[in-house]
Amino acid sequence: MAAALADRNSVGVFGKGQNKAKNFVLVCFSLIFYAWGEPLYVFLMLVSVFFNFRFGLIIGKSRNHRRAALVGGLIFNILVICTFKYLVFFAQTLNDCGINVPVPRIALPIGISFYTFQSISYLMDVYRRVSPAQRRFSDLLLYISMFPQLIAGPIVRYQTVAEEIHDRHVTSRDIADGTYRFLIGLGKKVIIANQLSEISGQFLVDGLDSLSTAGAWVGIIAFTLQIYFDFSGYSDMAIGMGRCLGFHFNENFRHPYCCTSITDFWRRWHISLGSFFRDYVYIPMGGNRRHQALNILVVWFLTGMWHGASWNFILWGLYFGVIVMLEKYTLLRVHDRIPRVVLHVYSLLLVIIGWGIFYFDNFDSMLIFFNAFIGQSAALTDFVSQAAITDNFWLWVMAIIFCMPLRGTASALLASMLGRSSVLHGGAVLCVRVCISLVMLMLSVALLVGATNNAFIYTRF
């Protein structure tokens, strides 16, 4: 009976011969999803996909013009993102320098950074012969426009899903695991991130003019936790929805606040972005072989620029770039000799400072915050900051606990309690998952009813 059940699950809910129909339906709903919030800019995405499709065909077929087609495709994608994301910033910067130029009014298309980088990933993978050129425009459109990760990532490499675009099937296990992962992400966002955003906004926006030192710390720690649960929650939801559709996206977060260095932090945080810059910028520039320090600074300058057209993002990127560069020549060489708790405190402190730079796109507001942060404020503490801790005590506890790698610990504990019985272990895991899923769903729905603060932070990028 068990063998028969396994055979039935392996066949999948959908057959392999239905891929064209499934892809067509998924493309249609992805375009509707994007057009729902950006009806005009859906045409920009279609044009972008068409040009990348043509460049990809030339790269895949031609022997003499492969490099020229790659360069042309990269220039096209860079021009698209620079025009719609950075043109206003460049014009404003020139005006600030005394050069009068008209400042265009261009709205930022949602998710342009993500789908542009995925287009670049496609061209690079085809050029390196990691994946063949896509011969169906609709299938490349599916890769670029796939709604689970379209507007806020993660950045899915073409090689990751190339085979699944053409041949995939969805099993009952995929749907179960994907649904569970989606509900975990929903809970992270609605139950934790949204509540923390109210605390961070209370101090870093509404109460900035009268900010105490304790308020500065409470506000920025709330934002530190908020941005993790916000973005990792969205990544979990995207990975879960992708799994339900038969796609297996790579992990994007691995408990970054458990890091022991800034280098370690960025190996755990937004992994898809870090690996993109590593493979497509850092290594082609020479990587560790030559000009390493310059390569690191260039990558981190671009990382800052990718996050937003503002000087605070550039400063934020260079801040981490300098730290990562210095760690390679200092800390990482004696890393194993330093107590882990010291490394952990050191890393979290620098990360929190970094989020302080990231949060404020106004330098006057940033200066007010950091003055309070280092104790240069009218008051060291106040009733508001104390109330923010005591009134939300269990929210803080829950947020800190869920930053830790609980899954491995829980699995090991469950295994030790149930012994070697795979049947008991599987049944216990199923019961726990069902209970967690129901709790996440009910609490999330209850909090979403009448809520007004539900935007994902990374939709800005």
Compute the distance between CA of residue 371 and CA of residue 384 in angstroms, rounded to an integer. Answer: 18
Q: What does the alpha-carbon distance between residue 378 and residue 210 come to, in Å, rounded to a whole number?
A: 8
Q: Are 177 and 243 in contact (CB under 8 A)?
A: yes
d(CA 194, CA 454): 7
Asked if 244 and 411 count as a contact pair (C-beta separation under 8 A), the reply is no
Instruction: Give the span between the Cα atoms of 96 and 103, in whole angstroms.
Output: 11
Q: Quick count: other Cβ atoms within 10 Å of Cβ 289? A: 9
Element (H, E) at 455: none
Cα three-residue angle 444-352-194, rounded to 5 degrees: 15
307 as an active site residue: the answer is: yes
Look up residue 113 and give its two tokens: 């950074």
Residue 49, number of CB atoms within 10 A of its CB: 22
CA angle 273, 277, 283 (to 5 degrees): 150
Residue of 255, 270, 307, 335 with catalytic role: 307
- Cα separation of 385 and 391, whole Å? 10
Amino acid at 172: S
Number of neighbours of residue 30 by Cβ within 10 angstroms: 20
CB 185 within 8 A of CB 243: no
The torsion defined by the Cα of 15, 16, 17 and 22, in degrees rounded to 10, comes to 80
219: Cβ contacts below 8 Å, ≥ 6 apart: 199, 200, 202, 203, 204, 207, 211
How remote is the C-alpha of 142 from its chain's centroid?
A: 20
CB 119 within 8 A of CB 44: no
Contact predicate 291/285, CB 8 Å: yes
| φ, ψ dihedrals at 159, nearest 5° | -65, -25
* Closest-CA residue to 208 (of 221, 197, 226, 220): 220
Cα 84 to Cα 42, 203, 222, 435: the distances in Å are: 13, 32, 31, 45
What residues act catalytically? 307
